[in-house]
Each structure stands twice: as C-alpha cells, then as structure tokens.
Amino acid sequence: MRIALLEDDRDQIALLRGWVEGVGHSLHAYERGRDFLREVARESFDVFLLDWMVPDKSGTEVLAWIRANLKERVPVLFVTTRDSEEDIVTVLQSGADDYLVKPLRKLEFLARIEVVVRRTRPSGDRDDAAELGEFHIDAARRSITRSGEAIDLTQKDFDLAVFLFRNQGRLLSRNHLFEAVWGKSTEINSRTIDTHVSRLRTRLGLAPENGWRLASVYQHGYRLERLS
C-alpha cells in the first residue's frame, strides 16, 4: 500500500513511518500542504493521512482540494489532536472517510487504514485466484491463463500484470508501479517500466479489439481498463 502523509511533526512522521513500513507499506511524508498537493496531483496513492494544523494550508483545505480536483476517490483519514465532536462531524461531512485522535494506538491505526482502503476496492481483489473476463489469475501458482491458454511471463511481468489487474481502472503513476513491483529502494531507468508494459500489452492482448486498454497517460503513468 502506498500512503501519503501530511504532518509537520517529525517525531510523529518517524513513528508512523516505522509502523506502516513495518507491515510492508510505504509512507511518503510532507510537512507542508502545498508540497503535499503538488505531489498528489502527479502521483498515485492508496490512502491519504491528513493532520489538521500544518503550515501554509490546513488539513481541511487540503481535503477540499482533494475532493474537488482528484477524479479518483482516494480514501482520506484525518489524524489530529483536535477531538471535539463538532470538528469530527465537520471533517466527515466534508468528505473524509475516517478520523483518529492523537495519541494514536498502533494496531487500531493500521486497522483503520486497511478498512478505509478496503471500502474503495472491489471485494476479492487480494484473492489468490481471480477471474477477470477471459483471464484467470492464480497468484499462488504465479500463473495467468487467457481463455484457458497459459501465458509465459517473467517474474516481474507477472507481478506487474497482477498489480495492474488488481487496480483495474485506476491511474497509477510510474513511481507507484516501481514501488509495488521492483521495491521502494530500487533505482531503475524510467524506460524499464515502459518496456514491461509494452510486453504485457502484447503478450496478454490488452488491446481495444479484445475488450481491454492498457493506456499510457502523459506525465502520469498507466491505466488498465476493461472496455467490455
């Protein structure tokens, strides 16, 4: 899971980074609202965590911008010291998906993230086996068949295909794909992802005439869409 955090307390950032990275997620932290908005406008994330009181733009201003400008509804979880009932109701009515009051409890915090993300995704998107049109994906056996015919894929091509299918319809940034498939610390040429996507498009037949489109979106990334 790729998480964007708006938080100006560096000790809190370090704490939350340890928690989320400890369970296999990645955390991208921003101390100013302006920096946060610049990144979420060009990158893709699975969930947003917002503090209320940060320099230059409040969490509520950032929430308003997110709901007005992002086409995809990414879940938003407020994480703040403000605990009045009026504040909580205001934020939830403004489009936040959940609200947590500091100090946080680790297990509850991680569970809340999982819950708000699960609400936005189709059920079963993490199953080991899935049927998607003519495709059968068996994650446990690391195999993909199309209309019953096995497709030979490299390890990275398989991982990329599964991630794209599980996020069907989402615009995924290149950095999001890098982190999900190659790992956060991996440094690879940006053309590498283009090569893998092109190969998948050919080997899986992800073309409009087959009812699929694996499209490149200029300066953003890729989106896999089912057309029929």
84-111 pLDDT, tens per residue? 999 999 999 999 999 999 999 999 999 9
193-203 burial: b if 16+ Cβ within 10 Å, else e = beebbebbbeb
Fold exhibited by the domain 129-226: Arc Repressor Mutant, subunit A (1.10.10)
Amino acid at 14: A
pTM: 0.88
Which residues, 6 or more positions from 195, have their beta carbon under 8 angstroms from its beta carbon? Answer: none
For residue 186, the model assigns a pLDDT of 54
Residue intervals in the chain for CATH 3.40.50.2300? 2-119
CATH of region 2-119, choose from 3.40.50.300, 3.40.50.2300, 3.40.640.10, 3.50.50.100? 3.40.50.2300
Residue intervals in the chain for CATH 1.10.10.10? 129-226
| Beta strands 171-173 and 212-217, pairing class | unpaired
105 CB burial (10 A radius; 0-12, 13-18, 19+): exposed
Quote the tokens at residue 14. 């370090």
Q: What is the pLDDT of residues 144-157, one digit of tens each?
A: 999 999 999 999 99
For residue 129, the model assigns a pLDDT of 72
Residue 185 clears pLDDT 60, i.e. is over it: no
For residue 184, the model assigns a pLDDT of 66
Q: Measured on CA atoms in the order 57, 61, 65, 66, is the torsion positive or negative?
A: positive
Residue 12 clears pLDDT 70, i.e. is over it: yes
